[in-house]
Amino acid sequence: MNFAAILPEEILTVGAIVLMMVAAFGGRRAAGLTSWGAIALLVGAAVALVGAPQTSGPLFGGLVAADGFGAFGKGLIYLSAAVAVLAAHNWFERDFEHSAEYPVLILLSTVGMSVMVSATSLITLYVGLELQSLAAYVLAAYRRTDDRSSEAGLKYFVLGGLASGILLYGISLLYGFTGTTDFVGIAAAFAREGTGSIGLLFGLVFLLAGIAFKISAVPFHMWTPDVYEGAPTPVTAFFASAPKVAGMLMAVRVCAGALGPAIDAWRQIMIFAALASIFLGAIAAYGQTNLKRLLAYSSINNVGFALIGLVAGGVAGTSAVLFYMAVYVVMTLGAFLCVLALRDEAGEPVEAIERLSGLAQTRPALAWAIAIFMFSLAGIPPLFGFWPKLMVFNAAVGQGLMWLAVLGILGTVIGAYYYLKIIKVMFFDAPHGEPLAKRPLGIEGMLIAAAALVVSPVGYLLIGPLGLATRTAVRSLF
């Protein structure tokens, strides 16, 4: 047994158990200790990714794979988790909300996502997904005194349970008709029987439906706006980044591995999900008045663009997916860190878009940071968010899917409106209502500045090294 290959997961698992004991005995006084302990564990796990052996074959009887593809996804997940822990440190009310168990829940969810991106068996995939989801349900309802947070947790739990049932039904069908849960064995069954087997085809559909829920792809997106709005903002930042990466990479590994020979079947499903996510995410955001709900539809929209890369397939398409998710994580975390910085004079969070009016006059640095993230999410050059969109469109054209790329570009134009609306409110609307509080941002301000620098035109300097990293990760998959 090559336990060294799963060293990052071991560090996080043992560390989470230790911090759980610290939280149990230390109570709220241990909140700072568990927070910084969780960040140290995430940094240690990221370092272990470099030192852990990278093998191309499955380990532990075909349950997981330790390869560059999984390591790339884990790096993004650990970054998102660390930012979620740091952001919460100054956001929750220390007297009754910032409990010591918050970082523990983040760590346990991170372990689940690490398993998701490394799974080479449907059983491992499900175990990792449920570990991530169970911690996420609690995180969504973390503010027990807030009705919106409780509602978000309940909705997420009910709809997540339904999605898990759908996923399990697909797994059971695939197991029943192939006799294995191993990706290699399932791929062999599809290569042997094709999609002529109704049982295999139904299993494929239900499996992809369950995965679509986890990445908020249309038509399984309905939970996203409500949960993003109701959950605490640091938790929403975590939901919008890490689980999206884990879900997309899990989808890539399943489609390229277990469902590889059935590409004609799953490609049709993914094309529909991609286009539906792009256009619904663009159009449904038009009437939103809450910034977190708008960013929820933005995440749905961006998942659609990433799915175009998955549809294109091959090294170019899959590399484009990884590149897209890396830039998307930075853009989204930066945007939510800006939302975290919006407070009124009473210290209450500000989420209404109309409250941003005149922000360029009262807090120009924050307004310009938000503008950078909005333009980048919209894919407007010369911001760096333009480049990953170009990559997925080029991958689609390279596979003869010109029409898909054209529709994706059309969706980009339509979606740009609601990003530009925020810019208009900040820079051109006259200030009204109570002014937002001017308070030092500390480490959050440094994170916002770093993220803004990455998604600015300076980010184009990363095309070479990030492109090399994505191609290396993809080669380990194929």
Q: Which range among 106-115, 142-151, 379-388 shows the weakest confidence by mean pLDDT?
A: 142-151
Q: pLDDT, tens digit, for every residue of 13-26?
A: 999 999 888 888 87
Choice between 444 and 377, residue whose per-residue pLDDT is larger: 377
Q: Is the pLDDT of residue 324 over 70?
A: yes
Tokens for 405, please give them: 């790329």
Contact between 399 and 314 (Cβ < 8 Å): yes
Q: What is the domain extent for residue 282? A: 3-477
Of 109, 345, 348, 95, give the one whose Cα is nearest residue 233: 348
pLDDT of residue 53: 58
Q: Give dist(CA 426, CA 420) in Å, integer.
A: 10
Of 136, 130, 5, 12, give the one whose Cα is nearest residue 63: 5
Total structural domains within the chain? 1
pLDDT of residue 192: 83
Tokens for 366, please give them: 């924050």
Helix then strand count (H, E) for the chain reads: 19, 2
**Band of the pLDDT at 95, cuts 50, 70, 90?**
very low
H helix runs in 90-121, sequence order? 101-118
Q: Give dist(CA 153, CA 139) in Å, integer.
A: 8
Q: Is the pLDDT of residue 466 over 50?
A: yes
Q: Is the pLDDT of residue 315 over 80?
A: yes
Of 158, 136, 160, give the one whose Cα is nearest residue 240: 136
SS3 letters across 318-371: HHHHHHHHHHHHHHHHHHHHHHHCCEECCCCECCEHHHHCCHHHHCHHHHHHHH
Burial annotation 189-198 (CB, 10 A radius, 16+ → b, else e): bbeebebebe
| Rounded (to 5) percent helix, strand, coil in the chain | 80, 5, 20
pLDDT of residue 346: 65
pLDDT of residue 244: 92
Q: Give dist(CA 85, CA 238) in Å, integer.
A: 9
For residue 84, give the amino acid letter: A
Of 354, 336, 334, 335, give the one whose Cα is nearest residue 344: 354
Q: Give dist(CA 366, CA 337) in Å, integer.
A: 10
| Portion of the chain with pLDDT greater than 70, in percent | 93
Q: Give dist(CA 244, CA 247) in Å, integer.
A: 5
pLDDT of residue 306: 92
Mean pLDDT of 33-55: 83
Contact between 339 and 292 (Cβ < 8 Å): yes
Q: Is the pLDDT of residue 98 over 70?
A: no
Considering the entire predicted model, what is its pTM?
A: 0.92
Tokens for 346, please give them: 């009473």
pLDDT of residue 329: 93
Tokens for 57, please give them: 């074959």
Q: pLDDT, tens digit, for every residue of 198-212?
A: 888 888 899 999 999
pLDDT of residue 426: 85
pLDDT of residue 5: 78
Give yes or no for a cis peptide into 465 (omega within 30° of 0).
Answer: no
Q: pLDDT, tens digit, for every residue of 414-444?
A: 888 888 888 888 888 777 766 666 666 677 7
Q: Is the pLDDT of residue 134 over 80?
A: yes
Q: pLDDT, tens digit, for every residue of 243-254?
A: 999 999 999 999
Mean pLDDT of the chain: 86
Q: Is the pLDDT of residue 61 over 90?
A: no
Q: Is the pLDDT of residue 299 over 60?
A: yes
Q: Give dist(CA 335, CA 302) in Å, integer.
A: 14
Greatest mean pLDDT range, 313-327, 344-358, 428-442: 313-327
**Band of the pLDDT at 1, cuts 50, 70, 90?**
low
